[in-house]
Every structure is written in structure tokens, then in C-alpha cells.
A and B are shown apart, each in its own frame.
Chain A
Amino acid sequence: MNLANPQLNDHGELIHLLSLDGLPREILHGILDRAAPFTAVAEREVKKVPLLRGKSVFNLFFENSTRTRTTFEIAAKRLSADVINLNINTSSAAKGESLLDTVDNLAAMQADMFVVRHASSGAPYLIAQHLAATGRNHIHVVNAGDGSHSHPTQGLLDMYTIRHYKRDFTKLTVAVVGDILHSRVARSQLHALVTLGVPEIRLVGPKTLLPAAAARMIEKGPLRVCHDINEGLRGADVVMTLRLQNERMQGALLPSPQEYFKSYGLTPEKLELAKPDAIVMHPGPMNRGIEIDSAVADGKQAVILPQVTFGIAVRMAVMSMLAGSQ
């Protein structure tokens, strides 16, 4: 394990996918390039390739998720892996077993890959470090979302989508709108956008939903904070809306979903401020009428369903790449 970046080995190859923070441009493009042919697999009669035949992929979900777990499961199965789903919320953690004990037990069942979702930021790092410390570097870890920290495969599928529709990252203005404070999706998007050379990234939301140090989230990143959504959308090529995560709202962050929709909901009128060919993205699941108007979600600029399709190809790319590394 590389101490400066635990997800790379000493040769700079990806051994885990923990975050998009610190991944060089070549690796990001490498994953996107690898994903492209996998989109065709889904259109075949037999939707399977044998790249992970005989490998065991454990979906370790310490936090509930149906959608993400399903897409990982489909991706692994299309690669011919054996997939074991574990919903830890309802099993060992409830019996008091520690995270690392769970990992040790599953590793003893000859796992080849852990796909991990956890409510605590950094939990997949702890697992990867533990595997390295106990000499089990051959087990790969894929972060499927940790706390507010990272959701790298979502970030990658978003980049795949942008590249598919816009080709060149270096001329784009991207607006990220919504609950950036709690969003692991936003953090992954920002790292990838900066690394891929996007020259202007706007963070749009009320002060209560932005980190106090929002503009310093990424060093030397071209981040601009906009509290006014009109200013944030003007001339944008890509509008990335975020889910307003109701379950994370602990305090007095917002007065009401209605007022949020009025101030920051993406409506056709507001979208007109963006470039005419701007695309609208959303990581799902959507709250219609809160962060996005149905007319936009179902409109011709929305690429939300293609995101889902690309997501499977991108996850196949990540898993096959990791399984091929040593």
C-alpha cells in the first residue's frame, strides 16, 4: 500500500477505489475509456463477460441502499463474479461485532472484493488499511459511499456522462446545486472535475448547506461559491443537482422544502439561464418539486436515466480494473 495514497500500489496502479481525491487524470480517463465497451455488453443477448469468473464480490452495506447495491450487483454479475449481499445493519453490527471483525470474518471466506457503504466518512480507508496491515492486499475495496466523504463510482459515472455529451472538460462551466455540506456525491464530483481540467465550478446553495470552508474544499480548485442560483446557472454547460437528504437534516438548516424549492429548485425558468445545450444531471433518487421540477427532470436536457445506464458500465470498469491489478 502506498502511504501517500492508500488506493494506489507502489507502481501507481489502482488497488482500491476509495476516493477520487488524489487520482491522476490518466487513471480517471483510463476508467472512463474502459467503461465505454461495457455499455455495449448490456445490449447483447447474453449480458455477460467472463472477466471476474470465479471471483467473490461481497457487497458490505452498513447503511441501507437499494439502488447503489443493485447497480454494483448487476455490474459484478455481468462480469461473471459471484455476488454476496450483506446488509450489516440487520446482522452482525446489531450483535455488537466491530467493523474490522466483520471484515476479518468475510476475508476468511476468501473474498476477492469488498464493495462498502458506511455511514462514517473514511470507513473504507480503515478497511483498506486493516487489510494491508494484515497482509491481505489481494482483497480490493470499492467505496460505495462513506458518510459525507466520497462516492467515487457515482463521481466517475457523472464524468462519463459529461464526457459522453460534452467531450472536452477543459471548456466547461459546471454548476453543482444543493446540499453540498452533506453530499459525498458532490465531493467526488468536485475532485474529478478539478482533475479533469474544468476551468469553472460553481457551488450553489444557501450558507447552511455549504461547508464553512467550501471554497477551500479543494486546493487550487477553480471553485466559486454562489448563494444566488441565477448567478450560479448563468452560462453553465452542466447543471448537477443534488438530492436534498432529508434524513441528514439534524438542525435548523432550512425552514421548509417549499422555500428551498423556491430558492434553489431547478425549474425550466431558471434553467433558461444556462447554455441552451446545457445538460441536467441528478444522482438519484430525485425529490421532485424539492430540488428539481418535474418539467426539468423529464425534459430534453435531462440526462438522468443515461447516468444510471452508464453507472453499470463504469462500475464494471472499476471492478475489472481492480481485479486485474496486484
Chain B
Amino acid sequence: MRIEIRNGRVIDPASGLDRAADIFVANGKIVGVGETAPDGFTAEGVIDASGCIVCPGLIDLSARLREPGFEYKATLESEMAAAAAGGVTRLVCPPDTDPPLDEPGLVEMLKYRARQPGFAHVHPLGALTIGLAGQRLTEMAELAEAGCIAFGQADVSVVDTKVLLRAMQYAATFGFPVWLQAQDAHLAKGGVAHDGGIAARLGLAGIPVVAETVALATYLQLVRETGGRLHIRRLSSAAGLELVRAARADGLPVTCDITTQHLHLCDRDIGFFNAHARLNPPLRSARDRAALALGLADGSIDVLCSDHTPVDDDAKQLPFDEAEPGATGLELLLPLTLRWAGTAQLPLTTALARITSDPARILGLDCGRIAVGAPADLCVFDPATRFTVSRERLKSQGKNTPFLGRELAGEVRYTLIDGYLAYAAEKLL
């Protein structure tokens, strides 16, 4: 379908473009950016983007689709609808499905199921070890062929450091990046909240910051040893950020991301044991949160992700320590990015880079940009319209988010994936 997106403010963080322009889409590609249509272009549908911003489709580096194995929490259909409604056109899903993504058949099936018009591009993370058990390496080359973009352990740490060294060596052999969360299994064991004043007051078992820094220190030494590329998922602390900064200053090939939850919230938001604030890693102190926000702004943190984790009500309506960690987030990635841009007084080109061109760079794919010839993965949003986050509004099957009841700005109007209209708040002209 040939679509013209008219009268919008086009922001392309990759090129720094921020100006009024029309965009012309045909055959799944962007065929024109500017005031006049390419020769011979006749639109079959017109999007009136007056008052709206047109940006590259969002890329979410951590979104659980819950398939296979957890279809009672969410399905590919429900979460792809959520992605489209959130302007997310490309996502990476962690391997903690059931069974975990540790063999090529599972990855092929997931890729096959996700290959539908209007569904976001899905890049599975392969399991680094079989069953995520931290003992035997997976067939990484086979998994990569099946479609895995990198390898990781989701929420599970590799306890045996020698296995981790071998896994990183093996991945580095083929140039596969490894994506890990920095959390020492022993130091974090049993903990459910940041080991600070709030946990002490509420009588919740703590996860200390050293659980992150000890694991990070180990990982960084292993990167030094193996020369492999490492992406740190879901950094949570100021001290952890300092370690990453120092390693990068040293020239190590390390990148990192944080979640929208950790960008905006801290352990105080647990309030009276709000299970929606039960997250992994735990929400840390206000000081940590402030440091992460600064790190994201100055680029020390490459990417902002949603860490989308739909959880069923039964698994959340439990005492805090028994509740399953995680928050639904695909639909809030954009509004929470805009909120951060507003409070930090950042240009939108910088803020949107963290959810478009920067994750594209981590993935090493030609995506996340607006240019003639690029795939037409686009998001059209109204930055001014405010809405209240509610269960009814969320398309994700998971209604679990600590932002429930909060008023946010930024409403997605249209989402195009490979030129296909994946989401439309209103009919085309």
C-alpha cells in the first residue's frame, strides 16, 4: 500500500533531522522525504500528521512475548497488538520462555509465528547455556542461523564463572554478542527489594548494589580476557554505571541499557508493598535513579528499553515477596521516554535516539532511521495528548505496571511496519 504521511514534524535521530516534512511509503520502503511526492507516486492512503511527530518505529531491546510456554500470561497476538499500539516495530525477546530458547527449532517456530503483516520484527535472544542452567553451551552457530541476534541468560545468572568464560569465548569466536544482566546469584539470593532504607523499613529481604557491581566486575574482566562484545541488560545502580563508564573509557566493547521503570521510579515507589513495583533488578534508591537518568542523557547508557513482562493477575495479587517480578511496558515506552525528555529538558532527537537509532546500533542492523530506501518502520504520535494509564487502555494481556493511574503524554496515532499499517487510532484519509 502506498501511504503519504502529511504535515508531520519528522524527527530522525540517526541523521539529526527535525523538520516539517511529508513521508512517502511504497512497497514497504520509504520512497520520499520532503515536500513533494516522488515522480509517479499516488497515495492510496493519507495519514494527516498535523500536530504529530513522525519518527522511526521504536526498537525495544527487551520484550517478553511469553511464547512458548506462558500463553496464559500473554500470546504473540496480544503482545504484537500492544507493540503496534506502542509504536514499537522491532523487539528483542529474552530466552526465558518454557522451554527456553536453547534449540534452533524453537527459535524457527517463534520467528515463523511472528512473521505476519503488522507484527513487529522479532529478534530472539538465544540461550547462552542449555536450559539457562549455566552448565552446557548451546549450539550458538545453529541458533544464530535460526535467527538469534545474540545470546544471553535472561534473569538467570551463570553461577560457574568458568562456564561463563567458555561461553563468552565461544560466542566471541563467531563474533556473537553476549547480553547479560549483572546480578551475582549468591548475593541476590532471596532478595526482593533494593537493600536500602525502604527495604529495612518494610522488612523486605534486600538485594544489595554489590550484587550488581561484583557481577559486573567479573563480566568486564571476562570481556578483557575474551575480546567478545558484551551488552549489559537492565543496569540498576550508580555504582554499576561507574564501572561501565570506566570500562568504556578503557576501550572495552561494552554497551548497556536501562528500563523505563528504573529511569522513573525508585524503591520509594514500593509504597505499601505494591507488587507492581516488584521488578528485576529491584528499583534502587533515588540517588541511583538520578544517576541512571544522567547516564542515559549523556549516552553512557546506550538504550532505554521497556523490559516488557506481562504477568497474570494471579501471579501479582500475592504478598510482595511471592509476587512474580516484572512490568508490562511496550505501550509505555514512548510516553515514558517523552516524560524523561521533558523533565531532563532534552531535545527530542536525543531522547528518541535511545529508543530508535541507538538500539539499532546495538543490533547492528540497518533500521531505526528515516531515509529514502530504508524499511518503512514508522511511528506517528501526538506528543501533547494526555492519557491515564489504565487496565482497560492497555492492549497487552499483562495489566501489571507500576504506572497504573499515572497521567502521561504521548499518544501513538499510527504505526507502520514494513509499510503495513499495523496500528491506526483513526482511519486514513
| Interface flag for B322 (CB, 8 Å) | yes
Query: Chain A 147-164 against B: per-residue CB contact (8 Å), 1 yes, 0 no?
Result: 111100000000000000
Q: Which of B199, B202, B208, B275 has the most CB of A within 10 A?
A: B202
Q: CB distance B200 to A212 under 8 Å?
A: yes
Q: CB distance B202 to A121 under 8 Å?
A: yes
Q: CB distance A213 to B319 under 8 Å?
A: no
| Interface flag for B201 (CB, 8 Å) | yes
Q: In the assembled complex, how far is the CB of residue B203 from the closest CB belonging to chain A, in whole angstroms?
A: 3
| Interface flag for B420 (CB, 8 Å) | no
A80 to B201, CA, bound (A): 36
A100 to B314, CA, bound (A): 10
| Given A122-B273, A147-B203, A250-B190, A213 and B318 contact (CB-CB distance below 8 Å) | no
Q: CB distance B204 to A21 under 8 Å?
A: no
| Interface flag for A299 (CB, 8 Å) | no
Contacting residues of chain B (303-338) with chain A, CB-CB under 8 angstroms: 314, 317-322
A140 to B306, CA, bound (A): 39
Q: CB distance B195 to A213 under 8 Å?
A: yes
Q: In the assembled complex, how far is the CB of residue A216 from the closest CB belonging to chain B, in whole angstroms?
A: 4
Q: CB distance B206 to A212 under 8 Å?
A: yes
Q: CB distance A21 to B320 under 8 Å?
A: no
| List of A residues within 8 angstroms of B314 by Cβ | 98
Q: CB distance A21 to B201 under 8 Å?
A: yes
- The number of residues on chain A lying at the interface, defined by a beta carbon within 8 Å of a beta carbon of chain B, is 30
| Interface flag for B272 (CB, 8 Å) | yes
| List of B residues within 8 angstroms of A123 by Cβ | 319
| Interface flag for A125 (CB, 8 Å) | yes
A6 to B272, CA, bound (A): 8
Q: Which of A120, A146, A214 contacts B322 (CB 8 A)?
A: A120
Q: CB distance A121 to B197 under 8 Å?
A: no
| Interface flag for A107 (CB, 8 Å) | no
| List of A residues within 8 angstroms of B272 by Cβ | 6, 122, 125, 129
| List of A residues within 8 angstroms of B295 by Cβ | none
A316 to B200, CA, bound (A): 30
| List of B residues within 8 angstroms of A122 by Cβ | 202, 204, 272-273, 319-321
Q: CB distance B318 to A98 under 8 Å?
A: yes
| Interface flag for A118 (CB, 8 Å) | yes
Q: Which of A100, A214, A217, A250 has the most CB of B within 10 A?
A: A217
Q: In the assembled complex, how far is the CB of residue B56 from the closest CB belonging to chain A, in whole angstroms?
A: 40
A184 to B200, CA, bound (A): 10
Q: Which of B199, B206, B272, B314 has the most CB of A within 10 A?
A: B272
Contacting residues of chain A (113-142) with chain B, CB-CB under 8 angstroms: 118, 120-123, 125-126, 129-130
Contacting residues of chain A (236-290) with chain B, CB-CB under 8 angstroms: 250
| Interface flag for B196 (CB, 8 Å) | yes
Contacting residues of chain B (259-290) with chain A, CB-CB under 8 angstroms: 272-273, 275
| List of A residues within 8 angstroms of B196 by Cβ | 212-213, 216
Q: In the assembled complex, how far is the CB of residue A281 from the closest CB belonging to chain B, in whole angstroms?
A: 20
In chain A, what residue has the closest Cβ to B209? A212
| List of B residues within 8 angstroms of A6 by Cβ | 272
Q: CB distance A121 to B319 under 8 Å?
A: yes
| List of B residues within 8 angstroms of A148 by Cβ | 203-205
Query: Chain A 181-225 against B: per-residue CB contact (8 Å), 1 yes, 0 no?
Result: 000100100000000000000000000000111101111000000
A217 to B199, CA, bound (A): 8
| List of B residues within 8 angstroms of A8 by Cβ | none
A161 to B272, CA, bound (A): 29
Q: In the assembled complex, how far is the CB of residue B400 from the closest CB belonging to chain A, in whole angstroms?
A: 15
| Given A99-B318, A120-B319, A250-B190, A212 and B201 contact (CB-CB distance below 8 Å) | no
Question: Besides A121-B202, A126-B317, 19 other CB < 8 A contacts?
Answer: A121-B273, A121-B321, A122-B319, A126-B273, A147-B321, A148-B203, A148-B204, A149-B204, A187-B201, A211-B200, A212-B196, A212-B200, A212-B206, A213-B196, A213-B200, A216-B197, A217-B201, A219-B197, A250-B190
Interface residues, chain A, CB within 8 Å of chain B? 6, 21, 98-100, 118, 120-123, 125-126, 129-130, 146-150, 184, 187, 211-214, 216-219, 250
A-B contact pairs, 9 of them (CB 8 A): A6-B272, A120-B320, A121-B319, A123-B319, A126-B275, A146-B203, A147-B319, A149-B202, A218-B201
